Structure 1
Amino acid sequence: MVRILPLYTQEAQLVKALRKADPKAQRMLYDKYASRMLGVCMRYVGDQMTAEDILVEGFMKVFDKIEQFKSEGSFEGWMRRIMVNESLGYLRQRKRLQEDTILDEAHGIVDDTALADQSLEASEMMDMIETLPTGYRTVFNLYAIEGYSHAEIADMLGITESTSKSQLHRARALLQQLVKNWEDELKKKEIYEKASS
């Protein structure tokens, strides 16, 4: 019996086929990475339909710019950077970052303490991150999830490093408050269940 290997099993073969604009390779790439890259876009824009639009634009850019991938480092990381840049481009077009930055200056600083509870699920934390104002969420994602420095974030968003640090600080403080509220609700529920039994 002849075993048929999946088409383009090696990343290098896939990239080579993408450089030839092979539609099967493009489809395979989309099928393999679409859900992960959609998650990246969602973290920045917080809206499913908008994130899907950005995802499509991002993949079009991946296909158009494939020659720029030099096979140094992760191909997925290279694609992720394109998706992040597309998301940031969307936010810049809508000028939502600038509006949040102006609002940010008007708010008082809340004490920053470490996010805590081990029982908080990752999906619940991601839901909390999605509720942050756009500027806070963007800086938090770039710094805490994508691993960019404040200098890189400032350059990408056209803000100062101190604004990046300030927005990160306030995002963490707001997340801390959201976690505390979640913990308080959990305690109330436990007390109620004990009293009911």
Structure 2
Amino acid sequence: MFQIDVVEQCKANDRRAQMKLYRQYCDGMYCVAMRFLKNADDAEDVLQESFIKAFQKIHQFEGDVSFGAWLKRIVINKSIDFLKTKKDKMVTLDEGYMHVEVNDDWTVEDGISMEEIKNGIECLPEKYRYVVMMFLLEGYDHNEISQVLDLTPSNCRTRLLRGKGLLKEMLQQRKHGTGS
């Protein structure tokens, strides 16, 4: 009930309510931005821009998801937009013509820590990294990832499967001492 009341107060442009929401969500959303940006200053900038956008667009929040989930989508979009603007050129690759075997097994060998998995994700090529991060760490499904990254669901699945394969291979190499 608290969250709905505060959101309604924010819709009425109540600054104290905005500060309540900001304090409630700023740390968690900062962590989300950091997972994408890996730079504290950039993450803080994106976080501020995300909250500004959220408060400007709060009238569009309908409550069909939690405010946190709605805000998280804004933070992820802003993080990805930030990364895109840092790149000079992006080369698109149509991966839809390639056949990929569907394998939903995400298990890894015993003895591999979550930190090693996160580090492995960071080493993935960018086109796979964001899809894997959003699926594994943020809990988005294929359709949501497709919308956020502007991919077809087929390309999203392909990138997720390839990213998973690369990640598993990297983790195995590190565990057995044949990797970096």
- The reply to whether TM is greater than 0.5 is yes
User: Does residue 68 of structure 2 align to residue 76 of structure 1?
Assistant: yes
Alignment check: 8 A CA contact 1:115 1:179 kept: no
Look up the match of 1:132: 124
User: Does residue 6 of structure 2 align to residue 14 of structure 1?
Assistant: yes
Q: Which one has a bigger Cα radius of gyration?
A: 1
**TM-score, with structure 1 as normaliser:** 0.70
Greater share of helix: 1
Distance 2:152 2:166 in 1: 21
Pairs within 5 Å for 1:59-74: 59-74=51-66
Deviations 1:96-130 (A, max 9, x none): 7934x55x9xxxx9xx8744134433333223222
Deviations 1:28-73 (A, max 9, x none): 2222211211222223333332222111111111111111111223
Look up the match of 2:45: 53
CA positional deviation for 1:77: 0.9
Look up the match of 1:146: 139
Unaligned regions of 5+ residues in structure 1, if any?
1-8, 186-197
Alignment check: 8 A CA contact 1:45 1:134 kept: no
CA RMSD of aligned residues (A): 3.0
Look up the match of 2:15: 23
Distance 1:28 1:163 in 2: 39
Look up the match of 1:174: 166
Distance 1:13 1:135 in 2: 40
Distance 1:140 1:42 in 2: 15
Helix, strand or coil for the counterpart of 1:98?
A: coil
Helix, strand or coil for the counterpart of 2:170?
A: helix
CA positional deviation for 1:167: 2.0
Look up the match of 1:4: none
**TM-score, with structure 2 as normaliser:** 0.75
Highest RCO, 1 vs 2 (Cα 8 Å, sep ≥ 6): 1
Task: Return structure 1 stretches of 4+ with deviation > 4 angstroms.
Answer: none
Distance 1:50 1:133 in 2: 20
